[in-house]
Amino acid sequence: MKNMLWLQTGACSGDTMALLCAENPTIEQLVKAGTIEVLWHPSLSSGDADLGALIAAIEAGEQRLDLLCIEGSIITGPQGTGMFDSYRKRPKMDIVRALAAHAGHVVAMGTCAAFGGIPASGSNPTDSIGLQFDRDKQGGLLAWDWRAKSGTPVINVAGCPAHPETIVRTLAMLARDLPMELDGLNRPAVFFSSMVHQGCTRNEYHEYDVEETELGGRGCMYFNLGCKGPSTQAVCNTTLWNGRSSKTRAGVPCFGCTAPNFPAEGDLFRTEKIADVPIKMPLGVARGQYMAYKNLAKAAAPVRVRGRKMEP
């Protein structure tokens, strides 16, 4: 049994909605089985839960806190005050910093809490950052060498929103003290080692270089339509969303939402290219060899692929 406090900062509730969508295990199963005790959650707590008293008790060392989940960007504006996002006239960023000092684990639920996310993009009008990262660099709310009581850095359950099953299974693993290896971005490696491209039902189109130039087709979206599936790590096509599908299967490019630089600054539906080949190669692939492979692949494409006969 571990207790959990889930706090929303500069959030859209998307990760909370994803949590409610998880099918195995469900959040209500985890609660019913006693695996997780919800100390507080903005949407799930009962009417008599009192966040203010809870925060005070944790800060005073009177209440144990096992899992601190943060959903949303850490907003530091205007002028460093944090008052674009406050609770009882206290900036949320100060509350998060205080609670983190007492937590067994701190979990960033979603790309906003992990890296800053959409509010931190472009002109970043609210001066948003992540918990331990500012996009792909140091400079988050907590110092680079900050560690939770358990000795781990902030665990980044990245995604916009994070995948429902990744959220709930990370919680279950932590609650059961199962080992959790983190990758170079402090994401739980077991959910962030596979590529979005892996398991995409358009793979055979990609394999033979049958690439779409307009949205709505059956072919691959990597070369022209901005799909970042070959360079993005997430379980979207190995553990399906809502038990059923994924964006790339449905013809929507992967926008790379588990990466620290999401969303990219350029046109999100266009692939940046040199000559006819994307600048960003599939993860770890050498450009020259890839171009040679693609030329051969195109020539080898069977009619069923060239003619887009297959349903993705």
Binders in 140-179 for another protein, by CB under 8 A: 160-161
Which secondary-structure segment (H or E) carries 205? helix 203-207
Among 3, 26, 194, 198, binds another protein (CB under 8 A): 26
Size of interface with another protein, in residues (CB under 8 A): 80
Closer to another protein by Cβ: residue 28 or 287: 28
* Pairwise CA distance, residues 236 & 251, whole Å: 13
Comparison of 123 and 181: residue with beta carbon closer to another protein? 123
Q: Is the dihedral of CA 246, 44, 56, 68 positive or negative?
A: negative
Contacts of 293 (CB under 8 A, 6+ apart): none
The two three-digit tokens of residue 288, written as one number: 């020259």
Residues whose CB falls within 8 Å of the CB of residue 131, separated by 6 or more in sequence, listed in order: 70, 74, 96, 100, 106, 108, 113, 114, 140, 141, 142, 154, 156
Among the residue ranges 31-39, 96-104, 273-281, 286-294, the one whose residues contact another protein (CB under 8 A) = 31-39
> Residue 223 CB, nearest distance to another protein (Å)?
17
φ, ψ dihedrals at 207, nearest 5° = -55, -40
Find the binder of another protein among 3, 35, 49, 104 (CB under 8 A).
49
Among 46, 145, 275, 286, interactor with another protein by CB under 8 A: 46
Among 64, 137, 270, 309, binds another protein (CB under 8 A): 270
* One-letter amino acid of 45: S
> Of the candidates 2, 14, 39, 165, which one interacts with another protein according to CB under 8 A?
14
Residue nearer to another protein on the CB measure, 7 or 114 = 7
**Smallest distance from the beta carbon of 13 to another protein, in angstroms?**
4
CA distances from 215 to 25, 82, 150, 226 (A): 35, 40, 47, 11
Q: Strand, helix or coil at 211?
A: strand
Q: Give min distance, CB of 208 to another protein, in A.
A: 20
Which residues, 6+ apart, have CB-to-CB distance to 140 below 8 Å?
74, 129, 130, 131, 132, 133, 134, 154
Q: Which is nearer to another protein, 153 or 175 (CB)?
A: 175
- The residue from 1, 24, 33, 52 that contacts another protein (CB under 8 A) is 52
Residues 68-87 that bind another protein (CB under 8 A): 73, 75, 78, 83-87
The least distance separating another protein from the CB of residue 195, rounded to whole angstroms, comes to 16
Three-class DSSP category at 41? coil
DSSP 121-179: STT-TT-EE-SS-BTTBS-SSS-TT---TTS---EEE-STTPPHHHHHHHHHHHHTT--
Query: How far apart are alpha carbons 94 and 87 in whole angstroms?
Result: 10
Q: How far is the CB of 246 from another protein (least distance, A)?
A: 5
Q: Interface residues for another protein in 213-252 (CB under 8 A)? A: 214-216, 236, 240-252
CB of 91 to another protein, least distance (A): 10
Residues 273-312 that bind another protein (CB under 8 A): 311-312
Per-residue string for binding with another protein, 119-138, x by CB under 8 A?
x-xxxxxx-x----------
Q: Which of 1, 24, 28, 56 binds another protein (CB under 8 A)?
A: 28
